[in-house]
Structure 1
Amino acid sequence: MALLNLLDASLAFGHVALLDHAAMSLEAGERLGLIGRNGTGKSSLLRILAGLELPDDGSVQVQQNLRRYFVPQEPQFAPGVTVFDAVSEGVAEARDLRARYEAHDSSEDLDALQTRIEALDGWTWEQRVDETLHRLDLAGDRRVDDLSGGMRKRVALAQALVAAPEVLLLDEPTNHLDLDAILWLQELLVAFKGALLVITHDRAFLDAVSTRIIELDRGQIRSYPGSFSAYEATKARELEDEALANARADKMLAQEEIWIRKGVEARRTRSVSRIQRLVQLREQRSARRDVLGRAKLDVATGERSGKIVAELEGVSKAYDGRTIVRDLSLTILRGDKVGLIGPNGAGKTTLLKMLLGQLEPDSGTVKLGTQMQVAYFDQMRGALNPEATLVDTISPGSEWIDSPSGRKHVMSYLGDFLFSPARANSPVKSLSGGERNRLLLARLFAKPANVLVLDEPTNDLDIETLDLLEELLQNYPGTVFLVSHDRRFLDAVITSTLVSEGDGHWREYEGSVEDWLIQSQRAKALAAKTAATQAKAAAAAPAPAPIAAAPVAVAVSAPAVARRKLGYKEQRELDGLPARLEALELEQKQLSELLAGTELYAQGAERIREVQGRFEQIEEELMTLLERWELLSAG
């Protein structure tokens, strides 16, 4: 039996139908990913399922005594509260009941109180809070007001988990979290025993967590079993079929309209059935939910910048005694697309400001390129006036915008970013979080730039806009600095990663986030294997024989070991290793995609075992080749 059932629900915001006789269910143990365009009502749907709001029509059926817990996008806490007290709100009923029981109020029915406390496992609520704090690596005595956005989100998750809900409802849980925290949350939710419904636009996160995707599309809820990758393939086929069916219906309607007009002149009596079919076709056409237009993203590249955008030599920077950047040497060329990766507080924004010449280093030199025109997404984020209209935000004092595709009326330009003329004069405060980000992109791309700095541009953007932004940045001829924790977005755009490795050290890796993760994981595995081998060898070595004390101790330096010249065969082997590694990594990537999809699981258990076995075999072969490469390179 389903834990939750949404039945024939309708909800409207002004003239916009967010839910139009929509229905869905949530089964025990399911992990649903809820997706849809910005402003379509996903957060409203989640609040309805949480019991915090009611639909205009329809109902929500909830299993008796079901424990639901909702974590909003921006959790709110009482001022001055400690982490322990904030998390304790998740067991507020058990805490309050036990306090009443211990007060021995004569007016209370102690037996009834005791029964309810035991049902809530309330006698040990402090222990549950402490265990959850330890599990989520939170210090209970810290003030929530002093925490970063990512840590506050972690406190809200702890509050939800300590309540031991049967249904957990999360609205954009990955916002404000760094990459490590997202991977941590991913593992936490996969291990969660209850049912989960999560709104997120992080496609890699959805792939890892969800067992079913539900899409809120034009007021209707559609269900797609499996991961997000499986949804993408199915959705593409559905949209093609829908477009084909609509085209056929429109053609038939046009033919019937022609027949009905000619029929008047050709004969006095017309087929009643054909007239009825025409009326029916007209009704179907007016009731159709057409696919909304796609956003059109375009950015003016401005003048061509110099070949070198920024050159850093031995750069260091510290704040309050903590080194943010230590002895960094780096060259950024025109057209580079660099992803900055590191935990919150690692200094990504500080490094960006030095790369752009906005901040002087404590030591070292920064040389900037010529003719740089910089557009900075983060700088504009706080500049939105909530009372201003969309038109005034994009083009204050003018009705026209000089866009890359030519001079455009502001209404047409806003339409490119999916804002209808009816909303053009609405205040910014009426927009959802994702719509505000889309408005910021519209404002950003209205000015020419040959260097784009995008600091967390993907927060709250819907998946379709993310895809379009990816495509734009891939084809953008200028230079891009991108700070994001969306792995799939980074992988699609960047050509190299600049990674914080702790204590102010930054290192550049060629390729995508996936390339960096593979390289760093293999380096750690190789280091661990080498350390284990050395420890084993040291343990097996015989103890040195006692040496008689010498009258004089003489220090002798070890002779330098000459690098051995490789033989012809060894040199050829070394030269061929990169190609062998690349071929194996490509095969491993293809197998990984096969394992993540749905087609493989219809081919039988033997085929699944074969693919999994080959995947593991490739990993072993890669480790062996890397060790061989290191050995040959050392001579």
Structure 2
Amino acid sequence: MSLYTITGAQLAFGHVALLDHADFSLEAGERVGLIGRNGAGKSSLLKIVAELARPDDGLITRQQDLVTVYVPQEPEFDGDVTVFDTVAAGLTRASALLDEYNTVAHELAETPEGAQHDALLARMNALQSSLDATDAWNWRTRVATTLAQIGLDGDAQVGSLSGGMQKRVALARALVVQPDVLLLDEPTNHLDFDGIRWLEELLVSQRAGLLFITHDRAFLDRVATRIVELDRGRLLSYPGNFSAYQTRKAQQLEVERVENEKFDKLLAQEEVWIRKGVEARRTRSVGRIARLVQMRKEREERRNVQGNVKLDVGQGEKSGKIVAELTDVTKRYGERTVVDRFSTTVMRGDKIGFVGPNGAGKTTLLKLILGELQPDDGAVRVGTNLQVAYFDQMRAQLDLEKSLADTISPGSDWVEINGQKKHVMSYLGDFLFAPERARSPVKSLSGGERNRLLLARLFARPANVLVLDEPTNDLDIPTLELLEELLTDYDGTVLLVSHDRAFLDNVVTSVIASEDAGKWREYVGGFTDWQIQRERSEQIAQKDAPKEPPKEAAPKESAAGRNAQRTVKLSFKEQRELEALPERIAALEAEQKAIGAQIEEGSIFVKDAQEGARLTERYAAIDDELLVAIERWDELESKKK
């Protein structure tokens, strides 16, 4: 039986049907990636599954006592509360049950036998059952274990953490509940590459059913076992990861196109026939007329594929051949060195990706290259005739009170793109903004729509250097793919900061990467090329590193003394147990690795959902067995000393 099923769901926003008789189900152990255009209704569906919203119509079926946890795109916390207490807030009910149990137990001890005593005893038994069912007896231990698993300091204040670490706190608060279904809205936002890789490993190892929204195609490929697309009010299911979805979606759209062409051709023929008049009014043609009326209705109700954004960059004059030249550049902030003796030359037409952890100094390096920031040491030579267009990930360039039209073309109804004038309404239409929204304030837009507006504003200005700081946040996948094509064909220079691995691979020709302690290094190729080259460099460095001199052998007397101590401190049974533990730990790790490969591949959930669920549970159980085995090994080893 499915964990959750919704049948014939209907949900409308104004005159737009977000869900149009849509069906959806989630099986145990499945990891479903939910995709669709901005504004299609993905977050609305997630909130319906989380029971935070209701559809206008439709039948919902849930497994009894199903535990569902929803992590929003931008979690809100009290900044003055510790990480431990914030995560523990996910177990509010468990701690309340335990507090009540202790209170009832205390009252029971002081109440003589009688009706009140019996009532208290019944309540205590009910509380004990609830505590057993939710495993709430050791809720503090559960919180501490979850914090250790996710790598968080329980004593830190949430307000002092970066956006990426706050995202980890939100995930910890969800996972400590041990949910049956985990719902995530844009989980990779604010995470750097290491954070995204960590999240991928975490989600693949979870036994909970997973439904998540993301536009990160590499993340979808790694995590999803099924793709569900919200397309024109319908929910379409595609087994496998994102790459498999792309192939099947292309085939489906081609079939739909051919069928629509046949339908439209037949409708056109019938429209010609009905206009002949006399022949159409004959009694025997009543059925044909009725069919024509039905065909007209079907054509009117057909929801065509939403058009894509039309991107075109206003090309400026050519810049000088050298855009920027950095020689032994160093930049410090207080005691911290952000850039340490870095040299590079940026040539016209280069497309460079800047990668590194949050806070590594990518934006600082960009400003040094553009001459907006002066180095503490070294020299920066900025090229001639630079026309820079800047895309800010914080959208600080947008005035929330201005209308969309004034944002694009202040004081004028026209914009000029590559020497051709275009009405601002038509230009906004290229970015999927309807004419009636042109006078709406920017603050009425969603996150994805604001990013689209910022792109429209950016591309309306002539430029020969595009600086894009996290341009992919909140953009839907079709717009991302179109932006990739545009940047690939762009004649100017592109400086790109992004955590979208697929986007980097498809756009940049070289990568400047942070290598800790202010060190930066340039690599040829995209994100994947950088990873391969970095791994090879690390292997060579390890191979060439001087080996530690062999330790001198301990005196025989000392060894004999240790053996004597072992005999005293370890029993024969314990000694045998200790010798067997390494082999057991290795076997458990090998089993977990094999199961992990099956789960990651995902086909098991399509072939046999029950077996997929069993493997997921076994994967998590091995974690517990490994922990017990390692702790026992450590305990026995310490007794030898």
The one-letter code matched in structure 1 to 2:523 is Y
Bigger Cα displacement from structure 2, 318-327 vs 420-429: 420-429
Please tell me whether residue 481 in structure 1 is matched to residue 495 in structure 2.
yes
Please name the residue that 1:453 is paired with. Answer: 467
Please name the residue that 1:95 is paired with. Answer: 95
1:454 & 1:59 partners in 2: Cα distance?
Answer: 45
Contact 1:29 1:196 (C-alpha < 8 Å) held by counterparts: yes
Q: Classify the secondary structure of the residue corresponding to 2:466.
A: strand
1:346 deviation in Å? 0.2
Matches within 5 A, 1:412-451: 412-451=426-465
Please name the residue that 1:59 is paired with. Answer: 59
Please name the residue that 2:529 is paired with. Answer: 515
Alignment size in residue pairs:
546
Match of 2:140 among 126, 129, 133: 126
Which stretches in structure 2 are left out of the alignment for 5+ residues?
A: 108-118, 555-599, 608-641
Please name the residue that 2:177 is paired with. Answer: 163
Q: Classify the secondary structure of the residue corresponding to 1:271.
A: helix
Bigger Cα displacement from structure 2, 119-128 vs 454-463: 119-128
Match of 2:194 among 158, 163, 180: 180
Match of 1:261 among 257, 260, 275: 275
Bigger Cα displacement from structure 2, 112-121 vs 325-334: 112-121
Please name the residue that 2:86 is paired with. Answer: 86
Matches within 5 A, 1:190-209: 190-209=204-223
Query: Residue by residue, what CA displacement relative to the aligned partner does 1:545-565 show, whole Å, maximum 9, x if unpaired?
Result: xxxxxxxxxxxxxxxxxxxxx
2:242 & 2:418 partners in 1: Cα distance?
Answer: 34
Please name the residue that 2:363 is paired with. Answer: 349
Please name the residue that 1:550 is paired with. Answer: none
Query: Residue by residue, what CA displacement relative to the aligned partner does 1:376-409 show, whole Å, maximum 9, x if unpaired?
Result: 1017712323333222222222111112372111
Contact 2:225 2:602 (C-alpha < 8 Å) held by counterparts: no
The one-letter code matched in structure 2 to 1:4 is Y
Contact 1:39 1:431 (C-alpha < 8 Å) held by counterparts: no
1:244 & 1:11 partners in 2: Cα distance?
Answer: 29
1:79 deviation in Å? 3.7
Please name the residue that 1:315 is paired with. Answer: 329
Which stretches in structure 1 are left out of the alignment for 5+ residues?
A: 544-594, 603-635
Q: Classify the secondary structure of the residue corresponding to 2:307.
A: coil
Query: Residue by residue, what CA displacement relative to the aligned partner does 1:489-538 show, whole Å, maximum 9, x if unpaired?
Result: 00000000000000000000000110011111233334445669x56xx6
Please name the residue that 2:246 is paired with. Answer: 232
* Distance change in 2, residues 1:320/1:59 (3 Å): farther
Please tell me whether residue 360 in structure 1 is matched to residue 374 in structure 2.
yes
1:42 deviation in Å? 0.5
* Distance change in 2, residues 1:266/1:414 (3 Å): closer
Contact 2:12 2:18 (C-alpha < 8 Å) held by counterparts: yes
Bigger Cα displacement from structure 2, 122-131 vs 384-393: 384-393
The one-letter code matched in structure 2 to 1:133 is L
The one-letter code matched in structure 2 to 1:444 is L
Please tell me whether residue 146 in structure 1 is matched to residue 160 in structure 2.
yes
Q: Classify the secondary structure of the residue corresponding to 2:278.
A: helix
1:180 deviation in Å? 0.8
> What's the Cα RMSD here?
2.3
The one-letter code matched in structure 1 to 2:352 is V
1:270 deviation in Å? 6.1
2:503 & 2:306 partners in 1: Cα distance?
Answer: 23
1:267 & 1:345 partners in 2: Cα distance?
Answer: 76
1:596 & 1:450 partners in 2: Cα distance?
Answer: 43
1:41 deviation in Å? 0.8
Contact 1:295 1:465 (C-alpha < 8 Å) held by counterparts: yes
2:529 & 2:307 partners in 1: Cα distance?
Answer: 35
Bigger Cα displacement from structure 2, 513-522 vs 395-404: 395-404
Match of 1:285 among 295, 299, 304: 299
Contact 1:380 1:440 (C-alpha < 8 Å) held by counterparts: no
1:472 deviation in Å? 0.4
Contact 1:69 1:167 (C-alpha < 8 Å) held by counterparts: yes
* Distance change in 2, residues 1:266/1:192 (3 Å): closer
1:151 deviation in Å? 0.8
* Distance change in 2, residues 1:530/1:441 (3 Å): same
Q: Classify the secondary structure of the residue corresponding to 1:398.
A: coil
Query: Residue by residue, what CA displacement relative to the aligned partner does 1:439-471 show, whole Å, maximum 9, x if unpaired?
Result: 111111111111111000001100000000000
Please tell me whether residue 298 in structure 1 is matched to residue 312 in structure 2.
yes
Return the TM-score normalized by structure 1: 0.82
1:303 deviation in Å? 1.0
Q: Classify the secondary structure of the residue corresponding to 1:461.
A: coil
1:298 & 1:420 partners in 2: Cα distance?
Answer: 19
Please name the residue that 2:638 is paired with. Answer: none
Identity across the alignment (%): 62
Return the TM-score normalized by structure 2: 0.82
